[in-house]
Amino acid sequence: MPLSLSLGLAMALLAVGLHAIAASRRAGCTRQVYGVSLAVCIILLGMALAHLLGGRTPITLTLPIGLPWLGAHFRLDALSAFFLIVVNLGGAVASLFALGYGQHEKTPERVLPFYPAFLAGMNLVLLADDAFTFLFVWEFMSLSSWALVMAHHREPANARAGYLYLVMACFGTLALLLAFGLLAGPDGGYDFAAIRAAQATPGAAALVLALALAGAGSKAGLVPLHVWLPLAHPAAPSHVSALMSGVMTKVAVYGFIRIAFDLLGAPAWWWGGLVLALGGITAVLGVLYALMQHDLKRLLAYHTVENIGIIFIGLGLALAFQANHMYANAALALTAALFHIFNHSLFKSLLFLGTGAVLTATGERDMDRLGGLIHPMPWTALAFLIGAAAISALPPLNGFVSEWLTFQAILASPELPQWPLKFLVPAVGALLALSAALAATCFVKAFGITFLGRPRSPAAAGARETDRYSLVALFVLAVLCLLAGILPGLVVDGLSPVVSVLNGGARLTAQSSQPWLTLVPVVDVKSTYNGLLVLLFMAFSGTGAALLIHRFASAAARRGPAWDCGFPEASPATQYTAGSFAQPIRRVFGSVVFQARERVFMPPPGDLRPARLEVELHDPVWERGYAPIITAVVALSSRFNAFQYLTIRRYLSLVFGALVLLLLGMVLWR
Amino acid sequence: MHGLAFDIAHFLAGGMVVASFLLLYQDRLYALIHVFALHSLVLALAVGWQAAVQGAHHLYITAGIALVFKAIVIPVALHRIVRRLGIHRTLETVGGVGRDMLAGTGLVALAILVMLPVTTAADALAREDLAFALAVVLLGLLLMVTRRNAVSLVIGFMSLENGLVLAAAGARGMPLAVEISVAFSVLIAMIVIGIFLFRIRERFDSVDMQAMDTFREERRR
């Protein structure tokens, strides 16, 4: 019953999309579309919560559509229920935000039809239970999100982003297609139940893992397949960016988990190593890229890459532990990864929506043209600050808990018997620690440059607080971030059915029985964390310190003109900028990773041009990985260009020659 | 299926290969059309014989289609087209009968070499039939490759299609619906190509493909 209702609701979303095609220019259409999307997402969220927390058994349903001998299989189990929660929580909040934000959309007919279709696509991917349906709805999700990326297609950068996204989405789907083909075997058992029952040979299983990493990883933004993500996610309207970054990447991770943990059978130990190494590199590179960015939305998109890396570190550890039959540790790593998936969907949606509010208020995404927004937009600033603290893994917020759990899993790694893993895991742990610290730096920059200081442009000076719908959406997410941070035991208990399904029945001990809501992942002599106590301590010490300072220092303080270093009437341009904030990091890491070079152009005496500081950055992944491929493709296609202008006889002769050659080959081969 | 029945089937299928060879060196369009009619007639006979031998009555319909459309209607229509275009006196440079014959012989050998080893499980008649059918298909392609005139291209394409029908008749149990659709698709292709010929001719005063190619070359530059 819940399953058929979910499918019906997904169909309702599609119907809303169709309705929006006809009615998108009408006045109330924006409200209608986002209102219905909000309602549907809330119902789906409730059903998924009931399924997961009620501990129900999986439900399956087969519809006579799709391939005639296969039908369309759908299934609702604990894993898909958890991801349904992530998707529909994000979808509901984004729809709520869009009730206000969508009013500012200049071309609603390019957004409204695809938005519900995109939501429906993501929901259906989670419910699909055979390879054909999965790939079909996966591609549907890709295409509808592509249409949303292209919503503002007149901007040249967006057209390029859309093209790159389309190419990478095709590549990803191709990889998944091959993976499912290998899983289904020569008999074509495309039903997931049949795939689960069949056992792949070690070679085929390794190939499937690599293909799943490429396919799901390209959608999730795993380095080096991330190049489209920081271009495409910011190009969409902000509530769609929130969905793509916060939610769609999670659907991609779902695809990987479904294949690697559910369909593929027992893992080999080096799978874990591969996933771990990719995750570690992704985390650090993602955050380094983010530090170099001055565009707020692009910075957030690069942070999505970083967080996907953290999630894959957890998944890789879980694979490594499972391969060695250490199911208790695998449960810990898996819980950490799933928890981080949930958390990232919360704070990344929050940050993107906050950026959307800034974008509405100022029309600017470039941090160097913002500043001082905390005065006109105090509530948005507060919500953004909570999101920034959460993504920087500061206690008592949720980001800290999941990264702490990941570190607990890393600390258990010396128990692994394989020496390569013994060396690799601490190195990845160091990368994770580095990326967490750099993420904090990056968000000090993002919040400080955007919201503090003085406005750097007239647009920033004239900003006004965003509308009430958007604020409610922001604070729903902010409160959830705080709640998941101080009550992590509840979330861990909620995740335990998912973990036990993926982990051969093993799961973390129930946390609800722990006193004082403490989180005890393994045993309490090892490590515990209590978010509530941390919150109370911070509240008391913070209030105490504020009171003390106010009592003893405020009275003594006096306001006077600021010391202006001898330059009166300092302009806002003399403030710290995003570039100057990131300069130390750029000098330490950028010179190696990005071959960053700084040049100072000092005009000779008498020349009236201003002095300039130029920074040159190279993208190693693009220049080493993609540029050669593009050059090769262009060279090949210009070589074969002549084939476009042959005569009919030449074409016929080519076909004929190819046929005769193949037949000859067949004769000689035998 | 042994003895006389096999021999006659073998003879008719072989006759189609011979007719394909005849097509290869006809340099007048009327002669080409006439040989094509012969080609289709032999096809009709071959399919009819298969129908009688296999006791598959639906094959009579296929044979009838081949006889009525391919041996009568299409040749007559092509005749009229050629006359209306006024190209019945043009000689087409076939370009070395000996060369084409040698190539054709090589193709037949190739077809037999390909088909006989892969069909060891099938009965003898089907094997021979498939080998001959592949030979007819390859010869039809060869005809299309060596000719310039659009009418010759059409005939090459339809002789190729005859080879496909021969293969379908030899293999037991091919559903009739497919054959009817194939026959009608050829008819439609015929009509379309006929219309195109007139349109092309209106534009370029010629149905020589070379003229179109020069035109396209010019536009490209």
Please write the tens of the pLDDT for every residue from B125-171: 777 788 898 999 999 989 888 887 777 888 888 888 888 888 877 76
Flag if A656 and B141 touch (Cβ within 8 Å): yes
Look at B177 and A555; give whichever has higher pLDDT. A555
Interaxial angle between packed helices B4-24 and B29-54, expressed in degrees from 0 to 180 and rounded to the nearest 10:
160
pLDDT value at position A546? 93
Q: Which of residues 145-164 of B touch A (CB under 8 A)?
A: 145, 148, 153
Q: How confident is the model at residue B205 (pLDDT cuts 50, 70, 90)?
A: low
Asked whether the predicted pLDDT for residue B177 surpasses 70, the reply is no
Residues of chain B neighbouring A660 (CB-CB closer than 8 A): 107, 110, 138
Q: H/E element holding A297?
A: helix A296-323
CA atoms within 13 A on the CB side of A150: 15
Residues of chain B neighbouring A655 (CB-CB closer than 8 A): 141
Amino acid at A603: P
B138 touching A (Cβ < 8 Å)? yes
Report the greatest alpha carbon distance in chain B.
64
B3 touching A (Cβ < 8 Å)? no
Contact (Cβ atoms closer than 8 angstroms) between residue B87 and residue B206? no
pLDDT value at position B212? 66
Q: How confident is the model at residue B217 (pLDDT cuts 50, 70, 90)?
A: low
Q: How confident is the model at residue B118 (pLDDT cuts 50, 70, 90)?
A: confident
Q: What is the DSSP string of A154-172?
A: TSHHHHHHHHHHHHHHHHH
Q: Shortest Cα distance from B3 to chain A (angstroms)?
A: 30
Residues of chain A neighbouring B144 (CB-CB closer than 8 A): 652, 656
Q: Name the pTM for this structure.
A: 0.82
CA distance A18 to A140: 15
Amino acid at B181: S
pLDDT value at position B84? 79
Contact (Cβ atoms closer than 8 angstroms) between residue A51 and residue A120? no
pLDDT value at position B2? 64
* pLDDT digits 0-9 by tens, A461-515: 888 898 999 999 999 999 999 999 998 988 999 999 999 988 888 888 787 777 7
Residues of chain A neighbouring B107 (CB-CB closer than 8 A): 660
- The angle formed by the CA atoms of residues B94, B95 and B97, to the nearest 5 degrees, is 80
Interaxial angle between packed helices A156-184 and A131-149, expressed in degrees from 0 to 180 and rounded to the nearest 10:
180
Asked whether the predicted pLDDT for residue B122 surpasses 80, the reply is no
pLDDT value at position A538? 92
Q: How many helices (H) and strands (E) does chain A have?
A: 26, 4
pLDDT value at position A255? 95
pLDDT value at position B196? 65
pLDDT value at position A82? 95
Contact (Cβ atoms closer than 8 angstroms) between residue A96 and residue A476? yes
Q: Shortest Cα distance from A647 to chain B (angstroms)?
A: 6
State which residues of chain A have pLDDT below 50: none
Flag if B114 and A659 touch (Cβ within 8 Å): no
Interface of A with B (CB under 8 A): 645, 647-649, 652-653, 655-656, 659-660, 663-664, 666-667, 670
A 10 A CB-CB count for B118 gives 13
Residue (of A275, A166, A298, A268) closest to A217 by Cα position: A275
Of the candidates B110, B217, B220, the beta carbon closest to that of A664 is on: B110
Tokens of A427: 């190195």
Flag if A655 and B110 touch (Cβ within 8 Å): no
Q: What is the DSSP string of A69-129?
A: TT-EEEEE-HHHHHHHHHHHHHHHHHHHHHHHHGGG-S-GGGTTTHHHHHHHHHHHHHHB-
* pLDDT digits 0-9 by tens, A189-238: 888 988 888 888 888 999 999 999 999 999 999 988 999 999 999 999 99
pLDDT value at position B199? 63
ipTM of the complex: 0.82
What is the C-alpha R_g of chain B?
18
Instruction: List the beta bridge partners of residue A616.
Output: A597
Flag if A656 and B144 touch (Cβ within 8 Å): yes
Interface test with B, best of A646, A653, A654, A663 (most B CBs within 10 A): A663
Instruction: List the beta bridge partners of residue A278.
Output: none
